[in-house]
Amino acid sequence: RKEVEQDPGPFNVPEGATVAFNCTYSNSASQSFFWYRQDCRKEPKLLMSVYSSGNEDGRFTAQLNRASQYISLLIRDSKLSDSATYLCVVNMRGAQKLVFGQGTRLTINP
């Protein structure tokens, strides 16, 4: 079983739609959780950290359910510029390295 699993997509949605991404992780010792965005042929960039209480940054909302070992990302009122690959990333307690999911490709269509 992969340490971090995501639906690879691709997701093709019209501009203005709401999109939801899901992610599960296998190691209950995981401590920190993130969503990264990666554009084609570019490095990943931090979109937001994910907290148990849930957190929101503009059109983006992230949720964490530790009991289910499940992380989600919701994008509201999607823009053309949201087209990218979204990576679910986990950091284990006491470890420095990040573990990446395979990413979910999103294309927003005009």
Partner 1 sequence: GAVVSQHPSRVICKSGTSVKIECRSLDFQATTMFWYRQFPKKSLMLMATSNEGSKATYEQGVEKDKFLINHASLTLSTLTVTSAHPEDSSFYICSARDTSAYTFGSGTRLTVV
Query: Would you tell me which residues interact with partner 1 (CB under 8 A)?
Result: 41-46, 87, 96-103
* Stretch (H or E) spanning 109: strand 104-109
Nearer to partner 1 (CB atom), residue 17 or residue 99: 99
Nearer to partner 1 (CB atom), residue 74 or residue 98: 98
C-beta separation of 19 from 32 below 8 A: no
- The string of DSSP codes covering 53-84 is T-EEETTEEEEEETTTTEEEEEE-S--GGG-E
Nearer to partner 1 (CB atom), residue 39 or residue 56: 39
Minimum distance of partner 1 from residue 26's CB (angstroms): 15
Minimum distance of partner 1 from residue 22's CB (angstroms): 16
Minimum distance of partner 1 from residue 100's CB (angstroms): 5
> Of 79, 98, 74, 82, which Cα lies nearest the Cα of 38?
82
